[in-house]
Structure 1
Amino acid sequence: MADDAAKPYVAERLARLRQKMEATGTDLVALAPGAHLRWLLGFAPAADERPSLCLIGPENACFLMPALNADDSRQHTDLKFFEWKDDVGPAKALAEALGYAAPRARRFGLDETMRADHALMLTDALAGCGRSFASETVGGLRMIKTADEIALLKDNARIADIAQVAVRDALAEGISESELAAVVQETFAAHGARPTFAILAIGPNSAYPHHHTGSATLKRGDIVLVDIGGMKNGYNSDITRMVSFGEPPAGYRDVHQVVDAAVRAAMAAARPGVSARSVDLAARQVITDAGYGDFFTHRTGHGLGTEVHEQPYITSANELVLEEGMVFTIEPGIYLPGRFGIRLEEVAVVTANGCEILSGLSRDLAVV
C-alpha cells in the first residue's frame, strides 16, 4: 500500500531528482522495488524474480512491469507502464521503456539494491553507457530530510522513548530477553508503530554488538542493553540505552562514563561543513584515550529515515561533508567479552549551527 506520508511529495521529489540527475550528468535512473522507489513514489510494486523497474529520464518516467502486477500497481501511480508477460519475457518491453524514458542515455544510475540478474539485464541493454549507483542521485536526496520528514522522525523517537521505559517497568527476576522484546513490540504497536527490531542483551550477551535476542534470563546484578526501533508513517526510530537490574557489575559505571563522553564528543563535532569522518574520529578518540580502542568495533553511526540503515554512514573512512537536514545515529560502544557491553545511541539532526537530538530520554544508567 502506498505510504500516505510520501504521497504529497511525489511531484516535488521527481523534480528534485531530475535536478540532481542534471547536476551529476545522469541521463537515466533505474530503480527496483525497494527503499529508493518507495521514498520517491510512495509505493513499490511486488518484488520477485520477474523484472519490475522504474525508469526515470530527463522528461519521462515509466515502469517496466510484469503484466500480472500491472492492475494492482496502477492504483498507486499514474506513470506509463510497459508490460510484459511470462510467455514472452521482458526484453521487448524493456527496449520500449528505455526508448521512452531516455532514448539517448549516455550514463545511468543503477539501484544498488537491485537483483544481480536484473542489473545485468539492464546493463546489457544499455551497453556502452557509463554507470553509477542511485545512491549518488536518489540517495543524495534522501540524506537531506525536509521539515515534514524530521517531524515524523521526532514522533517515532517519542514512541521509542516510551518503549524504553516500558522495558524498565517490565524488569523482573527470571524474565527472558525474548519476553522483554515482546514488551517492546506491544508498546510500539499500542502507539501505532510497527516494531522493526529489538536487541535485548542481558549480562555478558551485551558484549555482542548485534546480539540475537534469545532465552537468557535476568538476575540481580545484570545489566541489559536495549537497542530498539519501530516504524510509523514510513519513518524509523533507533535508540539504545542501558539498564541495570540492581547494582551493576564492578567497573561498569566508569566504562559507561567513557561511552557517554564519546557520544558528547561526536555531538559536539556534528555540524554543517565538517566530514562524517570527523564525527566518527571525535567519538573514537575519547574511547581510545581511555584505553578501550580495541573494544570499539563498529562505526559511530548510520543515516536514519525510511530505512534503519541508510546514508550517511558515520565512519572514519567517509569524507562526505555534512549538511543541514542530514539525520544519523551517534552510537559508540565498548564491548568487553565475558563481562558486559555498553552502547549509547542518539539520533542527531544536523542543524544550521550544530545538531539536535531527537530522544528526550537520559543516557544515564537506569538502575531498577
Structure 2
Amino acid sequence: MANTYKAMRTNKKELKMQRKKTNILHHNLNAEYPVLQRGEGVYVFDNKGKRYLDAVGGVGVVNIGHGVEEVMEAIEKQMRTLAFSYNGTVDNQPAEDMAAKLQQWAPAGMGETKTLFSSGGAEANEGAIKLAYQYHWERGLPSKKKIIGRWQSYHGNTIGTLSASGRTSWRSMYDPYMLDFMHISPPYCYRCPWGESYPGCKMECAYALKKTIKQAGPENISAFLAEPVIGTSMSAVVPPKEYYPIIREICDEFDVLFIVDEVMTGVGRTGKPWGIDNWQVTPDIITTSKGISGGYSPLGVLMLNEKICKTIEDGTGLVTHSCTYGGNPVSCAAGLATLEYIEKNDLVSRAGI
C-alpha cells in the first residue's frame, strides 16, 4: 500500500513536470487541458490541429453550432454601434428586443412577463431567489423567505445558488458557508428514495413538498426551485407525468412560487420551448442561460410572470438587483440572433423528434 501511494506521488510529480506552464486556475491543477483554437459546426479544433466532436456543446451551451454567420454578423454590427451600457441607469435597443422576443417564447399562463438579464445561470437564479422574496414582502408577508430545493439538483456555484442546490460533492468543501435552504428528495424512479415503484407509488416524491411546507410552516416558505429535467447531478432524470402538475397544485395551495431552472433544459432542447412545457405546467419564474445565446456571448435570463411584476410595480416599484453586464447590448444581440436562428430553422420541433 505504501509503495502504491509512493508511486502515485511520483507519477503526479512527473506529470507536473511535463505540463506546460499556465497562469489559469483550472478545476484540476494536475491535469493538462487541450487548447481549443477554433470551432466549425459541430466540431472544435485544438492548437495541434486535432478535431473533436463537440457532442454536448461545451457544457450544454453551443446549441446551434459554431460559426453561425447570422449570429456573428449581429454581434459585429452591435459592437460597432454600442458595446456597453449599464441597465441600472439607461436602456438599449437589443435588450428591449430580446425581452420582447422572450415574451413570445413565454408560456401563455405567465401573462405579460418582464425579463432581468445577467451574465449566466447562477446570477439568474440568485435574482430569482431575491425577487421571489420581494414579491411576498411587497404583499406584507416578510416571513415567507425560505427556499425549498431538491437533493441532487444544481443551480449554480455562488454561495446562494450552491446552498439551494443539492449537489453534495460540490457543497461539502464549502459546507461552513452553506445557507439554511431546505431540500426534498428527487423524483428518481430508478432508485426511489421511498423504495416504491411507479406508478403504484402514489407520487410520494411530489407530496414530499407538501409535507416539508407544512412542517416548516407555509407562512415561512417563499418558493420551490427545480430543474424540469434533473441535469448534471443526476444525468437527465425525467420525472413522471404527474409530478409537476402535483407540484403546481401544492405551490398554489400554500401560496408558494414555483421557480423553474431552465438553464439546461430551456430554449428548445427538449423539443418544447421550455422543459417544463412537457408537463403542461406554467411556472411563476423562469431562469435560463447556456443555449439562450448559443455560447456566442455570456447571457443569463430571469423571467417573471405578470402577477409578480404587477405586485412589485404596485408596491415599492423598485427592483434593487442588477448585474454590471446585465442587459449588455452585445450579449442581447447575440441572444436575439440565436433565437431567430432557432425559429428560422425550426430547431425546437426538430429536437423533439
**Larger RCO, structure (CA 8 Å, separation 6 or more):** 2
More helix per residue: 2
Question: Whose Rg is larger?
Answer: 1
TM-score (norm 1): 0.23
TM-score (norm 2): 0.24
More strand per residue: 1
